[in-house]
């Protein structure tokens, strides 16, 4: 035990890039800082990892810290969120308070599930803003946000599960296509996108559910992600 103490120690934090799609725009959740440093500026939700207390006396895991901060700061139903570690940011001067290393997380939530946060949208201290055009951010949070967006865009094709957390649990093919188009900032041919989607049905990853959904045109078939 003693050996560890020969080394100076940093503080360790988690910062969470919470993304959703609102009003056809990819948005990120920000919190206005109430204390120094960067008081009054916008920042990603996050906080320090607890490294003592709890069952083991050694605190919580990084994932647990991310989930806890998310719950405390955003009122999200954390169990419904896609949460994934991104990268550790450790530039020596990234925090004016001293040496703080931050482990960044990506959280992806669907519009239907952020009810509690939506309520806070009007609040002065919590706000959804366009992810590609955020206000000035505290610390190195611009870098973290850019990393998260790059990650999301790279991963979207490879792992469709992430995209499914941005749509309602029961979705139409058009719903999913709009998510892809907004994130990738392109358009997809609806016939070709449909065929790609239907392959996932063949593979058993998605199943059709009964009923239809009104759309403004012909009603659409409804699908659901298979657990």
Partner DNA sequence: CCAAAAGTGTTCTCACTACACCCATGT
Partner DNA sequence: ACATGGGTGTAGTGAGAACACTTTTGG
43, 137 in Cβ contact below 8 A? yes
Smallest distance, a second copy to C-beta of residue 180, A:
19
Smallest distance, DNA to C-beta of residue 126, A:
31
Question: Which residues lie below 8 Å from residue 148, measured CB to CB, with a gap of 6+?
Answer: 17, 19, 86, 104, 106
Q: How many residues appear in the chain?
A: 227
Q: Closer to DNA at the Cβ: 61 or 187? A: 187
Q: Which residues of 41-53 are buried (b: 16+ CB within 10 A; e: fewer)?
A: bbbbbbbebeeee
188 binds, among a second copy, DNA, none (CB under 5 to 8 A by kind): DNA
CB atoms within 10 A of CB 213: 14
Smallest distance, a second copy to C-beta of residue 157, A:
11
Q: Closer to a second copy at the Cβ: 154 or 218? A: 154
DSSP strand E in 70-219: where?
82-89, 100-108, 126-130, 170-171, 206-213
Contacting positions for a second copy (CB under 8 A): 1, 3-4, 7-12, 35-36, 48-52, 54, 56, 58-62, 85, 87-88, 90-93, 95, 97-101, 103
Smallest distance, a second copy to C-beta of residue 34, A:
12
Contacting positions for DNA (CB under 7 A): 172-174, 188-192, 194-196, 199, 212, 214-221
Q: Closer to a second copy at the Cβ: 53 or 142? A: 53
56, 63 in Cβ contact below 8 A? no
């Amino acid at each position: 035990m003693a050996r560890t103490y020969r080394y100076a120690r940093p503080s360790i934090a988690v910062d969470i890039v919470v993304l959703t799609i609102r009003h056809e725009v990819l948005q990120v959740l920000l919190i206005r800082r109430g204390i120094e440093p960067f008081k009054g500026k916008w920042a990603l939700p996050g906080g320090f990892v607890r490294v003592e207390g709890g069952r083991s006396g050694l605190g919580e895991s990084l994932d647990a810290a991310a989930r806890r901060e998310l719950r405390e700061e955003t009122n999200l139903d954390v169990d419904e969120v896609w949460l994934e570690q991104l990268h550790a940011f450790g530039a020596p001067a990234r925090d004016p308070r001293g040496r703080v290393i931050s482990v960044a997380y990506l959280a992806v939530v669907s519009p239907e599930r952020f009810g509690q946060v939506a309520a806070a949208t009007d609040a002065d201290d919590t706000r959804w803003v366009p992810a590609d055009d955020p206000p000035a951010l505290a610390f190195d949070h611009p870098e973290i946000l850019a990393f998260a967006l790059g990650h999301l865009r790279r991963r979207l094709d490879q792992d469709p599960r992430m995209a499914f957390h941005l749509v309602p649990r029961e979705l139409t093919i058009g719903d999913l296509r709009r998510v892809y188009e907004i994130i990738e900032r392109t358009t997809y041919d609806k016939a070709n996108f449909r065929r790609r989607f239907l392959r996932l049905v063949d593979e058993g990853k998605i199943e059709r559910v009964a009923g239809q959904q009104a759309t403004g045109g012909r009603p659409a078939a409804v699908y659901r992600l298979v657990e």
